[in-house]
Amino acid sequence: MQTVAVVGAQWGDEGKGKVVDLLARDADVIVRFQGGNNAAHTLVVNGDKFVLRLIPSGALHPGKTCVLSNGMVVDPIALLDEIDSFKRRGRALTPTDLKLSYDAHLVLPYHRAIDRGREARAGKFAIGTTGFGIGPAYEDKMARSGLRFEDMADAPRFAEKIERNLREKNLYLKTLLKVQPLKIKETIDALMAARRRIRPYLCDTAAFLHDAIADGKKVLFEGAHGVMLDIDHGTYPYVTSSNCGASAVFGGAGLPPGKLDAVLGISKAYTTRVGAGPFPSEISGRLADSLREEGAEFGSATGRPRRIGWFDAVLVRHAIRLNGMWGLALTKLDILTGIDLLRVCVGYQIGKQRYDEIPPSRAMLTRAKPVYEELPGWTEDVSTATSLEQLPVNAQRYLDRLRELCGVRLAMIGVGPARDATITLENPFVA
């Protein structure tokens, strides 16, 4: 297969970065097609930890081209910080290595201020955003008042647009949100300095991808977040501000319909989510605390502790159906080691009715009681396994049952945090 998309099948944080890093070995171009720096992918390479928020995970492989495409909203300051962090580690990213779409929208300081001000004002009704300004940036995009990277071409006009927007946003910040307005000159100066460094990376990324595919290059599309955080198909309103599924590749990267060969879904061997919203299979207490610590379940972008739950086959099937997934990569199997009895959510009970699919109203999920199946656990170490046969019998049974419930092939099994701690059963680029 030539074009492959990696999509989260839960509420994000499924380990997409690690899978993208593995698949990038066989790809030529790696593309982010939505979201912003509210997503973060954590990788462990030769014992060294990398946290990537905007730059695709494939950037850790030499000779690859990484693309930030038009469907993204990009904080230019955050992007330059990330480029600088690569340079400090001996990996300078040139405009040949990294390409940024002229049509991507900017996340600006006033977007961050509005995001944080709204969350503070909402109090207990807050959605639980990262506060990085992603939602307000997408709002401006849809209101046709946002700034795109193409606006950087004309410096005086760029400064004028920033000032005009900033005066309006400052009024909103001061009068409604009751927070400190931003300093206009200081903000403009910082963005003009960023402009000088960003411009060499700008590119018509849709045309670049068209040519790359025509030349026979393999292209990997890296999704951010997960399907249950999708603005249309997730647990609205507790979602992100973009489409997280594979269909967003077409609009978000300029890929023509029919040009995507496969979608690989990513799911943990259990379930987590960050922020507010329904979570039917959520657990609490000592076991949840243990899984959180053992699995390092704290937000890569924010440090917030993640909520913990059993594997939810209902929501993963929902993601598989919406995305036409070719296969599923299951991560963090090792974290379940030592649990005597494992549970898998196979349905929801809402009042007197059972649901084997996500109910039509997301609000109904707040009343959903999980219907569980129980499976025996294992105590043997799985972190050195390189094949299914090397896994404990009960671990194999657990995987078999998840495969049956999800109705799709298991392509990869993660057994540890390191880059190579993955059992690869099928690779879509060589399938």
Whether 172 and 215 map to the same domain: the answer is no
Query: The domain that contains 390 carries what CATH number?
Result: 3.90.170.10
What's the pLDDT score for residue 301?
66
Whether 325 and 246 map to the same domain: the answer is yes
How many domains are there within the chain?
2
Domain boundary among 154, 183, 200: 200
Query: The domain that contains 141 carries what CATH number?
Result: 1.10.300.10
Residue 225 annotated to the active site: no
- Choosing from 13, 115, 140, 312, the catalytic residue is 13
> Would you say residue 429 lies in a domain?
no
Whether 211 and 334 map to the same domain: the answer is yes
Whether 168 and 247 map to the same domain: the answer is no
Whether 90 and 157 map to the same domain: the answer is no
Whether 216 and 345 map to the same domain: the answer is yes
Whether 183 and 260 map to the same domain: the answer is no
Mean pLDDT by 10 residues, the chain (431 residues): 97 92 95 90 73 88 95 97 91 94 98 93 82 95 97 96 96 94 96 97 98 98 95 94 96 96 98 94 96 90 88 98 98 97 98 95 92 98 96 98 98 92 96 72
Strand partners, 341: 376
> Would you say residue 100 lies in a domain?
no
Whether 301 and 377 map to the same domain: the answer is yes
Helices (H), 123-154: 134-143
Specify the DSSP class assigned to residue 35: B
Residue 41 annotated to the active site: yes
Whether 190 and 211 map to the same domain: the answer is no
Whether 155 and 44 map to the same domain: the answer is no
Q: Which residues contact 249 (CB under 8 A, 6 or more apart)?
A: 5, 33, 221, 255, 260
Tokens 């489409």 correspond to 243
Q: Residue 100: what are its φ and ψ, rounded to 5°?
A: -120, 130
CA dist 228 and 238 (Å) reads 9
Whether 196 and 220 map to the same domain: the answer is no
Whether 194 and 301 map to the same domain: the answer is no
Closest CA to 381 of 329, 341, 338: 338
What's the pLDDT score for residue 129?
83
Using a cut of 0.85, tell me whether the model's pTM lies above it: yes
For residue 58, give Cα distances in angstroms to 67, 97, 131, 138, 254: 10, 10, 26, 26, 20
Q: Which domain holds residue 305?
A: 3-94+204-424
> Would you say residue 430 lies in a domain?
no
Domain boundary among 142, 171, 200: 200
Domain boundary among 200, 232, 265: 200
What's the pLDDT score for residue 411?
98
CA dist 18 and 45 (Å) reads 10
- Choosing from 41, 105, 111, 225, the catalytic residue is 41
